[in-house]
Homo-oligomer: A and B are copies of this chain.
């Protein structure tokens, strides 16, 4: 089955908005094992939209439209696509009821009501997070067409709750994917190490890079989910064998989520003391809902005076070794354990740039310490290769700190020999 996505909206052509809808749909199709061959964006222009839809219907088995289902005059997707597919629109009373309910009004405006007009005979995809319903139907030539709303907060749940199950009905096979998450080894060397495993057909194996980390996706298809899952397991085992401690999880998608779970399972707590990352690490930990059970306190001690006052980093350490040093990172980690009473403490200090680097301490030099009150480990990140952004250095330093905590909690060497 060959698929294609058309996203509708002039705002996408002005660069005001990134087309995250296409990526969300593309990922879902990939997980369903459906081949996506084209994605395109068209503005709110009926003629160009009609041309794009006609081309897509002629060449693809599945067309997914995103955006342009709303109440305003330039929301033209439904009218134009239905016409190109040879369908009329008909009022779908339950959708109108839902819209009236949403606004708590018996008579909504004509514009709002327009959203309840859908291609006749279509399957309606309910919108649990907004007013415009989606729909699925077949064009005269057999091409399956789905229309989904533009706002990602409406599209994503509709896709996962209604559109994916709809598409699964027509799929002979079930697809199961597992993501093996890796920290500490880049995509290129990982891919090289897995070279002989990447030609498999079922399961397949593919590497992906992701902001200073990477992951391997193992995908299998079978008639049942259990069978597909069973096909994946030997390959996952082999990956673990080859990568050892660099694998941090299967299917737990971030280091912060893993660390929060491990801390909670072990009844431990973590506190953070950040300099160059300025609160990013504590922000990422508290991104995880429920982190309050394991994270009580973090400090962003940007100035030396704050490192002294809040963490008790000795002035002599700061003067002798500098704020960006192994010794200061260590004193920060030990200080935050003392101040917070947490089981574990992290200290991060470095130069995130773009200013502030010197020949001796260049931009990207960052020290990261983990302490459990008895022992303290310090890692050093040095800038290598091409120049990276401030965001990049900060993100990677926070990830590195989380990986050290993960290793500690998993009973592994905190610093790989």
Contact = CB atoms under 8 A, between A and B. Distances in A.
Contact of A300 (B19, B129, B279): B279
B16 A208 contact: yes
A41 B22 contact: yes
Contacts of A287: 278, 390-391
A43 interface: yes
B30 A38 contact: no
Contacts of A27: 14-16
A52 B52 CA distance: 12
Residue with the highest number of chain B CB atoms closer than 10 Å, among A13, A41, A279, A289: A279
A40 interface: yes
Contacts of A290: 355
Size class of the A contact interface (CB-based, 8 Å): 35 or more
Contact of A298 (B25, B36, B45, B278): B278
Residue with the highest number of chain B CB atoms closer than 10 Å, among A28, A39, A310: A39
A386 B283 contact: no
Interface in A265-321: 272, 274, 276-283, 285-287, 289-292, 295-303, 305-306, 309-310
Contact of A279 (B45, B129, B298, B390): B298
B297 A306 contact: yes
A1 interface: no
A180 interface: no
Contacts of A45: 37
Nearest to A31: B15
Contacts of A193: none
B20 A18 contact: yes
Contacts of A206: 14
A26 interface: yes
Given A15-B28, A39-B40, A130-B386, A296 B289 contact: no
B39 A12 contact: yes
A391 B19 CA distance: 19
B297 A299 contact: yes
A30 B48 contact: no
Contacts of A359: none
Contacts of A292: 302-303, 356
A300 B298 contact: yes
Given A289-B355, A298-B300, 5 more contacts: A15-B30, A153-B389, A278-B285, A297-B302, A297-B310
